[in-house]
Amino acid sequence: MTLNQLEYFCAVCRCHSISRAAEELYVSQPTISTSIRELEREFHLQLFSHGKNRIALTPDGDAFYRRAAEILEGTRSLTDDFLALGASQRPVRIGIPPIMSTIFFPRLTDQFHEVSDIPVRLVEYGSVRACEMVASGNLDLSLINMDVYDLEKFNSFPLMETGCVFCVSRTHPLAKEKQLTFGQLRDENLILFNTDSVLNQLVNHRFRAMHATPHILMESSQLYTILNVVRGGNCGTFLFSPIAANPRDFVEIPVVPTIKSRFGIVWNRGPVREDVKTFLDFARTVDFTPYTESAPSPARREEP
């Protein structure tokens, strides 16, 4: 049981709908459905009864909801209380997209803490959602895919550019291909990052341009989950080349025409807190080439 699973479950209870809960939390419906099934398997309970166009809590589900709501409220209270204790050292709140977090963090923050005692709090959000959080003031800055819409509303600077590959297990029928087109992938089973990921939007745009509907089995916010599903099934996923993966398990296949994206940092226009400025100044000095070169990536095919 995880706090995310409890959050998803309680959102469905509040919204009386998996689809509305997914919209509220900016995750996919399959992600929420999977979390609820995992809770039911773990506790050997049926939490919801499903009728035509409705979902309702079972008696066990109702009891579970009351306890889950207490746990989430206690967690929020704990966070608020101890953040208040450290108000004099308010952390710099940084959004990081799950798709790129393995490249930049925690190495970037480790280096920052070698030269500064300013606390940093990292929160995972896709680039679309992260920009909304920065705009609302709930994040001080965020690492994002800079293909995001309305980038001009923010201050920003780029960190790196990278291309996209199609990642499959070594046993996948496409594993021996030297390159792939989107036409070849129109009937393949796909696992994608959530809809708040710019890569998700870029991939779907390519398919729409071909008047094709991709076969999406699941959308997830977790790289680990995506790689596990790809590892165990007849499906593939789109990843940026530097993303870490087990080289014994995966093959990365270039996709043409190439999807290239820039990644960078955004923050709100206007006055900037001194601690946020300190982090931004530090990030500008970091050479991100070693980050992308040293990060392990899905295995490239070996030439015969």
Q: Where residue 303 falls among pLDDT bands split at 50, 70, 90? A: very low
Report the mean per-residue pLDDT for the chain: 83
Q: Return the closest-CA partner of residue 30 out of 41, 19, 20, 40.
A: 19
DSSP 112: H
CA triple 93-268-282, angle to 5 deg: 60
How is residue 243 written in tokens?
Answer: 């993303």
What pTM was estimated for this model as a whole? 0.59
Residue with the larger pLDDT of the pair 87 and 40: 40
* pLDDT for the residue numbered 189: 94
pLDDT digits (tens, 9 = 90+) for 100-145: 666 666 677 888 888 998 889 888 888 888 899 999 999 999 998 8
Residue with the larger pLDDT of the pair 85 and 136: 136
pLDDT digits (tens, 9 = 90+) for 224-281: 788 888 888 789 999 887 664 445 678 889 999 888 888 899 999 989 999 999 999 9
Which residues, listed in sequence order, are joined to residue 265 by a DSSP beta bridge? 143, 157
* pLDDT for the residue numbered 76: 79
Alpha-carbon distance of 193 to 220, in angstroms, equals: 5
Bond from prior residue into 257 cis (ω within 30 degrees of 0): yes
Q: Where residue 302 falls among pLDDT bands split at 50, 70, 90? A: very low
Domains annotated on the chain, with CATH: 3-85 (1.10.10.10), 90-160+262-294 (3.40.190.10), 162-260 (3.40.190.290)
Which residues, listed in sequence order, are joined to residue 145 by a DSSP beta bridge? 263
Contact status, residue 207 vs residue 186, Cβ threshold 8 Å? yes
- pLDDT > 90: percent of the chain: 25
* pLDDT for the residue numbered 227: 83
Average pLDDT over residues 143-172: 88
Q: 168-171: list long-range contacts, CB under 8 Å, 24+ apart.
A: 168/230, 168/235, 168/236, 168/250, 168/251, 168/253, 169/230, 169/231, 169/232, 169/249, 169/250, 169/251, 170/248, 170/249, 170/250, 170/251, 170/299
